[in-house]
Amino acid sequence: MEIISETDLILNADGSAYHLNLLPEDVADTVITVGDPDRVGEVSKYFDSIELKKGKREFITHTGYVGKKRITVLSTGIGTDNIDIVLNELDALVNVDFNTRTPNARLKQLNIIRIGTSGAIQADIPVDSLLVSSAAFGLDALMGFYKTENNAAEQEMLNEFTSVFPSHFAMKPYLAPASPMLLDKLAKDIARGITITSPGFYSPQGRQVRALTAVPGLMDMIAGFAYKEKRITNLEMETAGIYGLAKSLGHHAISFNVILANRATKKFSKQPGKIVDNYIAGIIEKINNNL
């Protein structure tokens, strides 16, 4: 079997993964990801016990138990460039033997559950509500670097979405679905939508402060898109990368979006911390009861 080289999979002196600074035994089968490193403690405060706290750069990890369920919560920082690191290192931690540098014979499927914040683009989606992404379009470049496959229905929706953009626009969107199993187990009662993952917060999400946009009307193009009564509901910066890489690596992923902004009504949450905290508690309860 081919050995994964020391520069393809970099390990620290203590044998931990290069960026996440974790050892294989540090990772639970259920992994909650959050963007904000400060949100890790806001999740683990609901654990009954915490067995480890580790970190490096923006990647902070706590692993512990809720009842008998072992859970890891880990911050990704912002953007799909970080998701590339987090998903590949998480997968290596559970599916590669770090001593022999070869993939394990039995591959593990992690449950990866993102709890993130997001902006709605449809006027009828209230600020402070919760949305689950049934699928996500990536406007970033990440999944262009990986082999991916869409089924016929996904490919048709992707083709229609791509045709929304002017032909001079260089970006090539991709589409990745949530795990049907996690949607069923964790999100039966939660509003669903299609999420856009953007490679930035300002012009890539239709915002203008001082730098002028090269894509006027981006929000209207996206908000007006419909495919078989499905519409795009919200914008954030990680979900499509998580869904795309989780699918490529054989893991299950789901993304919960706490809607803090509504771009159509121009409203922002008055109490973002409290709202996110309430949803974290509810999602942990669902994980504990259903996974």
Ligand X SMILES: O=P(O)(O)O[C@H]1O[C@H](CO)[C@@H](O)[C@H]1O
Ligand Y SMILES: O=c1cc[nH]c(=O)[nH]1
Q: Measure the CA–CA gap between 140 and 146, rounded to whole angstroms.
A: 13
Q: Does 21 bind ligand Y (CB under 6 A)?
A: no
- Work out whether 83 is an interface residue with ligand Y (CB under 6 A): no
* 201 lies in the binding site for ligand Y (CB under 6 A): yes
Q: Which of 28, 34, 158, 237 binds ligand Y (CB under 6 A)?
A: 237
Residues that bind ligand X (CB under 6 A): 34-36, 78, 116-117, 201, 236-238
Segment contacting ligand Y by CB under 6 A, of 38-46, 87-95, 117-125, 208-216:
117-125
Q: 17 contacts which partner out of ligand Y, ligand X, none, CB within 5 to 8 A by kind?
A: none
Selected from 157, 249, 261, 284, the binder of ligand Y by CB under 6 A is 261
> Could you tell me which stretch among 13-21, 90-98, 111-119, 150-158 binds ligand Y (CB under 6 A)?
111-119
Cβ-based nearer residue to ligand X, 116 or 173 = 116
Beta carbon of residue 92, minimum distance to ligand X (angstroms, whole number): 23
| C-beta separation of 44 from 88 below 8 A | no
CA 63, 64, 65, 70 torsion-angle sign: positive
User: Are the C-beta atoms of 139 and 176 separated by less than 8 Å?
Assistant: no
| Alpha carbon distance 243, 33 (integer Å) | 12
Q: Is 182 helix (H, G, I), strand (E, B) or coil?
A: helix
Q: Could you give the angle at the alpha carbon of 15 between the alpha carbons of 94 and 18, nearest 5°? A: 75
Tell me the backbone φ, ψ of residue 20, rounded to 5 degrees: -75, -20
Long-range contacts of 283-289 (CB under 8 A, 24+ apart): 283/32, 283/113, 283/115, 283/186, 283/256, 284/32, 284/43, 284/46, 284/66, 284/71, 286/185, 286/186, 287/30, 287/32, 287/66, 287/69, 287/71, 287/113, 287/186, 288/66, 288/67, 288/69
The one among 64, 79, 119, 199 contacting ligand Y by CB under 6 A: 119
Q: Decide if residue 260 touches ligand Y (CB under 6 A).
A: yes
In terms of CB distance, is 64 or 116 closer to ligand Y? Answer: 116
The entry of ligand X, ligand Y, none that residue 35 binds, CB within 5 to 8 Å by partner kind: ligand X
**218 contributes a contact to ligand Y by CB under 6 A:** no
Residue 261's binding partner out of ligand X, ligand Y, none, with CB under 5 to 8 Å set by partner kind: ligand Y
Minimal distance, residue 79 CB to ligand X, in Å: 7
| Residue 98 interacts with ligand Y (CB under 6 A): yes or no | no
| Binding site partner of 36, from ligand X, ligand Y, none, Cβ cut-off 5-8 A by kind | ligand X
Nearer to ligand Y, 20 or 196 (CB): 196
238 binds, among ligand X, ligand Y, none (CB under 5 to 8 A by kind): ligand X
Two tokens at 203?
């012009």
Cβ-based burial of 60 (10 A; exposed 0-12, middle 13-18, buried ≥19): buried
Residue 127's closest CA among 260, 270, 275? 260
Which residues lie near ligand Y (CB under 6 A)? 117-119, 201, 205, 235-237, 260-261
